[in-house]
Structure 1
Amino acid sequence: MSLRAWIGRKIGLSDSKFWAAFSGRESYAGKFVTADAALQLATVWACVRLTAQAVSMLPLQLFERTSGGRVPAVSHPLTDIIAESPNDEMTGLELWEAVTAWLCVNGNAYAEKAFMGNRLVSLNLIAADQMQVTRNTDGELVYRFNDRGLPEQLPASKIFHVKGFGFGGDLGLSPIRFGVQTFGSAIATDETAGKIFDGGMMPAGVLTADQVIDDPQREALTKIMQSFAGSRNAGKMMVLEAGLKYQQLSLDPETTQMLETRRFHVEEICRWFGTPPIIVGHAAQGQTMWGTGVEALLIQWLTTGLNPFLSRIERRIRKQLLTPEERGRFYAEFNREGLLQADSAAKAAFLSTMVQNGLMGRIEARAKLNLPATPPNGDRLTVQTNLTFLDQLGAAAAPAARTEPKP
């Protein structure tokens, strides 16, 4: 829960959720880790942003099962809500981008379902850090959150709740919460590097004197030395007197930049979000940013990184946005082929294979390229035997079988 969710409520020392929201969870590195603090790390921001954008850019469509397969359910009211306009303020892309971002950071995403009679008319996103999920005395789920400063409580039937990875409980698990040691160490490392750069890349030093100095002299020396500290004072000439000597402590550049530590943190953070480091622009030692190896990593990310998000959203739409009577006929599906849009060679090879092997008609293939339909017979399936029609394979082969060579 965020601090906003506690406005107007009594807070005691036993309210651990409030104190966690106020200061985050403390890591062994001495840093309090919250979602806002973690997102200030470039790797966390990149993992969340790239995953959310990749999921939201895929077309989402509601389909109806028919005896001949399936057809787009363009007339169903839910189609416009999930694909184009979930509410008065958001587009479909913005909704699923926000849902995926909350899943990455919080492990849960919520939206309030608004009805007109019995018909769903909109989905209104609720910030996941404002939500508190409990069960009442009857064991039913209850969702509590703040609506413009006022406490609100809704039953599970009024909430669209997408859960991330978990062990089957009421909530998904938050990577930020469980990865507090990794994120805390990365925050501490960035802070240390920043302070060194703020000091003009000048490490600490030791000031020695030939005699014992009293407290007023120590305070005066401290003020004098502070005027030479910081990046803004780099290059100033220091004048020492009364036998004072300054000895600078050595600090090599590799230690100053903490390159290996920061490289390790990039890889560790990527593990928490299931994102290959190459996706966020981090190549391992000896690895290039191009080639078949990187292509295999991208495919792996699409399979094990993005597909779980897509499947979770699809199944929650079917379970919570369709009536029990509709679940047998309708279902939502992301068009995963949208991931091939930027790779023209891969898309051309895919469509060519589907058409030449009789798995897709030319009209279907042209539709995927946003091209107009072809003349008649463009929707008939063909194979590579002179590209004849699939239902005429036997007729085409029969004359050849009856032809006999002349003596």
Structure 2
Amino acid sequence: MAMRNSVFFRATSLIAGSMGMLPLSLFRRAPDGTTSKATDHRLYQTLKLDPNGFQSPSEFKSYMQLAAVLDGNAFAQVVRLNGEVQALVPYDRGTVTKERRGATLRFKHTPKSGGTTYLDPQDVFHFRAPVSLDGLNGLGLLNVAADTIGLAHLADRAMSKLLRSGVMAGGALQAKEALSDDAYARLKADMREQYSGADNAGEWMVLEEGLEAKPFSGSARDTQFVELMKRQAEEGSRFTGVPPPPAHVRRDGLGQRHRAARPLLRRLLPLAVVRDLGRGRVAAAVGQRETRPQRHHALRQVQRARAAARLDEGSGRGDGTRAGLRRRASLGHAERSA
């Protein structure tokens, strides 16, 4: 039901798709402090090329992000061979729970086919939503936004029922005296032939026998219903954290404010990448230490985003194209590295 809501579907798919587009690589740090991509490491191949044999890296990251948004948690099995990670296989949603017994953690897997298996933490990659009530499990939108999603569903059902079986007449023709059968039949035929359809929109009606047109005006209840639909769309945007314009929620003035805030968004998104990649979630799950090159890669994204933000603000100098600004940002980074 939740994914049938257009705003909720748009916002969650935008979040999941954005995560799928973010790079995720494994780096190796040499004793002298230099870093390079560990292309010969099996985990690099898993993350960059083939996570599990049936998903691309983008699909894997998008699925894990979507499950974390909806349920608060996403789990994947860490498949090893001779101590090396060979694959990350996602578990079905709702089949894995995280438990704590004293100072130890374990994962309880209950597949749809039945049976229960307990897994060690090193055999499970747990991708969690940032908000948690117990410190173990994330809080999903299907839980916190249940009332909003349910109310939006009821509003959609009410609108569908109104369009399917409700009276949608725009007005009435009122006569002081009863019309004859011939006059009624002629009036009905004229209404269908001369005044119905898009081609006859705006035509003036010729009334006879004292007929008077009485157009129907929208009631306060109709206005409240429209406002309710708009409010539910905004509520969905608030719960997901996606601003109304990207979620295709239109309100007066929001588009202009979104364009004004675009440079800020360009700066904040790469900073979030720095935060997430710096945590080394996958590396921790497979027994690897956090690597500094991940943060360096994200910092380069920050520099490129700031260059694009300067372009939006109209402060570019010299080569004012987006490519030129990014090229200058890359050169500046190379000079600082040297």
State whether TM-score is above 0.5: yes
- What are the residue-to-residue correspondences of 1:4-403 with 2, within 5 Å? 37-66=1-30, 67-136=32-101, 139-146=104-111, 148-165=113-130, 166-167=132-133, 169-202=135-168, 252=219, 255=222, 258-288=225-255, 292-296=259-263, 298-299=265-266, 302=269, 307=273, 311=276, 314-323=279-288, 327=289, 332=294, 337=301, 345-355=321-331, 357=332, 359-360=333-334, 381=335
Q: 1:219-256, CA deviations, whole angstroms, 9 ceiling, x for partnerless residues?
A: xxxxxxxxxxxxxxxx9xxxxxxxxxxxxx98649817
Q: Secondary structure at the match of 2:107?
A: strand
Whether contact under 8 Å (2:108, 2:116) holds in the other structure is no
* Partners of 1:91 and 1:107 in 2: CA distance: 23
* Partners of 1:190 and 1:297 in 2: CA distance: 35
* Partners of 1:254 and 1:297 in 2: CA distance: 40
- The structural deviation recorded for 1:59 is 2.1
Q: Secondary structure at the match of 1:100?
A: helix
* Partners of 1:331 and 1:316 in 2: CA distance: 14
- Any unmatched runs of 5+ in structure 1? 1-36, 204-234, 236-248, 361-380, 383-389, 392-407
- The structural deviation recorded for 1:328 is 5.9
Query: Cα 1:129–1:294, aligned 2, differ >3 Å: closer, same or farther?
Result: same
Q: TM-score w.r.t. structure 1 length?
A: 0.59
* Partners of 1:312 and 1:58 in 2: CA distance: 10
Q: 1:351-376, CA deviations, whole angstroms, 9 ceiling, x for partnerless residues?
A: 21341x4x22xxxxxxxxxxxxxxxx
- The structural deviation recorded for 1:316 is 1.1
Instruction: Give the aligned length.
Output: 275
For residue 260 of structure 1, what is the amino acid of its counterpart? E
Q: Secondary structure at the match of 2:245?
A: helix
* Partners of 1:105 and 1:156 in 2: CA distance: 22
* Partners of 2:324 and 2:279 in 1: CA distance: 27
Which residue of 2 is the match for residue 363 of structure 1? none
The CA RMSD measured in Å over matched residues stands at 3.5
Whether contact under 8 Å (1:279, 1:298) holds in the other structure is no
* Partners of 2:287 and 2:292 in 1: CA distance: 8
Whether contact under 8 Å (1:63, 1:73) holds in the other structure is yes
Query: Cα 1:351–1:133, aligned 2, differ >3 Å: closer, same or farther?
Result: same
* Partners of 1:63 and 1:177 in 2: CA distance: 37
Q: TM-score w.r.t. structure 2 length?
A: 0.69
* Partners of 2:168 and 2:87 in 1: CA distance: 58
Q: Secondary structure at the match of 1:288?
A: helix
Query: Cα 1:329–1:316, aligned 2, differ >3 Å: closer, same or farther?
Result: closer
Taking every aligned residue pair, what percent have the same amino acid on both sides?
A: 20
For residue 158 of structure 2, what is the amino acid of its counterpart? T
Query: Cα 1:346–1:143, aligned 2, differ >3 Å: closer, same or farther?
Result: farther
* Partners of 1:118 and 1:278 in 2: CA distance: 47
- Any unmatched runs of 5+ in structure 2? 170-195, 197-215, 312-320
- The structural deviation recorded for 1:138 is 7.0
The structure with the largest alpha-carbon Rg is 1
